Amino acid sequence: MASDTYCETIALAALFQSAAQIQRVARFGAVDENEIAPLMRALIITNPQKIEDIYEPKRLTSGLNQLLTSLYPKEAAQPKNAELIKIAFSIINLEGNLEKQNMVFTQLDQEVDKLRDQVLSLHPNYENSDNTVLLDYEIIKLYSKIYSNLISPNFPKLIIYGEESYLRRTEFQEMIRALLLSGIRASLLWHQMGGKRYSLMFRYKDILECARAILSGQYQG
């Protein structure tokens, strides 16, 4: 069985990969299919048997690398990382508040079940599809709609900085909302695996060590 630290590390890698892609879209209007596709796929995995059913570690390489520069104190203090860390922690706070609102949280759970049915009606083999299918714009809009209809009206809006010309474009707005939803999914998983804010303060060395082991292919549960 995978260790708690391993599961926490994978979930955090997905969170930080989501945050990095939000930043990339907002600042550069760039969509990295290889980085975003596994995050979108994870949104419809509702009955996993193990964490790898949700996220394949090999598809979280950038998120794992981001952990190494975001949790290590000296690197985290660098301006280039500060904004991304702020996005990630804002998502953690948002997801924590979401869990406290039982009615909204229950509704989100129900909406995700409906979402899975909608996605699979469009692409029956979605879970095993390539990036083109995983990033089908019609599906991105479904993800964005859940965020707009359920999260945005009930919680303070997260401030995302970027180029105004990109932030005004509908397709980038929808991608950012979909990525925020993917970040919430990762943060929720992290909490379910035992993750707490204090663990990032006192156990960050264990998480960094685990991230390095996963990246090198030397992790042993």
pLDDT at 70: 87
Of the pLDDT bands very low, low, confident and very high (cuts 50, 70, 90), residue 79 is low
Domain residue extents for the chain: 4-216
User: Radius of gyration over alpha carbons of the chain, in Å?
Assistant: 16
Token pair belonging to 72:
């290590």
pLDDT at residue 103 is higher than 70? yes
pLDDT at 175: 98
Kindly state the average pLDDT of the residues 14-38: 97
* Three-state secondary structure call for residue 44: coil
With a pLDDT cut of 70, the percent of the chain lying above it is: 95
Kindly state the average pLDDT of the residues 32-57: 96
How distant, in Å, are the alpha carbons of 70, 170, 206 from that of 201?
12, 38, 11
Asked if 81 and 23 count as a contact pair (C-beta separation under 8 A), the reply is no
Non-local CB neighbours of 159 within 8 Å, separated by 6+ positions: none
Amino acid at 146: I
Token pair belonging to 205:
């060395």
**Does CATH number 1.10.3890.10 belong to domain 4-216?**
yes
Question: How many whole angstroms separate alpha carbon 150 and alpha carbon 114?
Answer: 14
Neighbours of 202 (CB within 10 A): 9
Of the pLDDT bands very low, low, confident and very high (cuts 50, 70, 90), residue 76 is low
Of the pLDDT bands very low, low, confident and very high (cuts 50, 70, 90), residue 172 is very high
Kindly state the average pLDDT of the residues 133-152: 97
Mean pLDDT score across all residues of the chain: 92
The reported pTM is: 0.95
Token pair belonging to 169:
């474009």
Residue 51: name the closest of 35, 38, 37, 69 by CA.
38
Of the pLDDT bands very low, low, confident and very high (cuts 50, 70, 90), residue 204 is confident
pLDDT at residue 125 is higher than 50? yes
pLDDT at 1: 43
